[in-house]
Amino acid sequence: MSIPHQFEIDQSLRSAVKTLFDKVSLCPPQPRRCLRCGQEMQYLNATFSLSGTDCTWQVLLPICPCELESSHQGPSVTQ
């Protein structure tokens, strides 16, 4: 039986998260190559929001096509 876990973010943690995302969203994405296949990483534009506030951030997440392909096969337990 699983019960949805609810947690409350206190004000200090909330401001810490805001500071973190303010930094991350300002960072220009660096060209990166995948360590697994050597292809150039693509960037996924993700939007994060902090519940209870009207704060949202656009963050570019580096992701490689090979990770997307492997994710189609379900969770892999290789490590």
**Residues interacting with Zn ion, by CB under 5 A?**
34, 36-37, 64, 66
Closest approach of Zn ion to the CB of residue 42, in Å: 10
Q: How far is the CB of 35 from Zn ion (least distance, A)?
A: 8
Nearer residue to Zn ion within complex by CB, 23 or 32: 32
Q: Which is nearer to Zn ion, 46 or 66 (CB)?
A: 66
d(CA 36, CA 53): 38
Distance between CA atoms of residues 13 and 17, nearest Å: 6
